[in-house]
């Protein structure tokens, strides 16, 4: 019974999200920025279709929403892990959570950044008479 009384106070003193988890959240942002900079430097004007056409704007909006969902899922997972786990279990699950969110949310956005402008150009060429 005494452990049940100690559990709420011990969970309330834990941080919601740790500094290392915020740092892990910055890694995908750095990767995405590197992809954008690389594409713009290697192929100037290639990504213009993502902001100058209606289909490109829809792709950009969808990618942005998907990325925000990924950030939210990661932060929610971090809060749950920090509140209910301790020690090595917490470290392992935080790492797996970061890797999983990167694969599920960032990799599709990277694919959209690379293939989206080509898809817009193909769609425009097929729809023009």
Q: Is 29 a member of any domain?
A: yes
pTM confidence score: 0.78
Residue 107: left (phi > 0), alpha (psi -120 to 50), or beta?
Answer: alpha
Maximum pairwise Cα distance, the chain? 77
For residues 44 and 36, the answer to whether their CB atoms sit within 8 Å is no
Question: Can you give the residue range of the structural domain that contains 83?
Answer: 16-124
Which of 10-14, 18-22, 80-84, 87-91 is predicted with the least confidence, judged by mean pLDDT?
Answer: 10-14
Confidence of residue 3 (pLDDT cuts 50, 70, 90): very low
**2 domain residue, yes or no:** no
Q: Which of 88, 70, 83, 59 is nearest to 27 (CA)?
A: 70
Residue 97: inside a domain, yes or no? yes
Q: Is residue 98 part of a domain?
A: yes
- Residue 72, in any domain of the structure: yes
Cα–Cα distance between 77 and 68 in angstroms, integer?
14
In a domain, 129, yes or no: no
Q: Domain tally for the chain? A: 1
Q: Which pLDDT score is estimated for 12?
A: 56
Give the tens place of pLDDT for each residue, 52-96: 999 999 999 999 999 999 999 999 999 998 888 877 788 888 889
Residues 35-55, mean pLDDT to the nearest whole number: 91
């Amino acid at each position: 019974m005494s452990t049940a009384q100690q559990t709420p106070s011990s969970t309330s003193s834990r941080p919601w999200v740790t500094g290392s988890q915020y740092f892990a959240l910055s890694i995908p942002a750095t990767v995405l920025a590197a992809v954008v900079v690389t594409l713009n430097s290697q192929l100037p004007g290639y990504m213009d279709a993502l902001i100058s056409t209606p289909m490109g704007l829809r792709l950009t909006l969808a990618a942005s929403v998907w990325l925000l969902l990924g950030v939210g899922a990661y932060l929610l997972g971090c809060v749950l892990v920090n509140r209910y786990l301790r020690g090595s279990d917490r470290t392992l699950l935080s790492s797996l959570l970061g890797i999983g969110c990167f694969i599920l949310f960032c990799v599709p956005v990277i694919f959209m950044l690379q293939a989206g402008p080509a898809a817009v150009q193909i769609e425009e060429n097929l729809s023009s008479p």
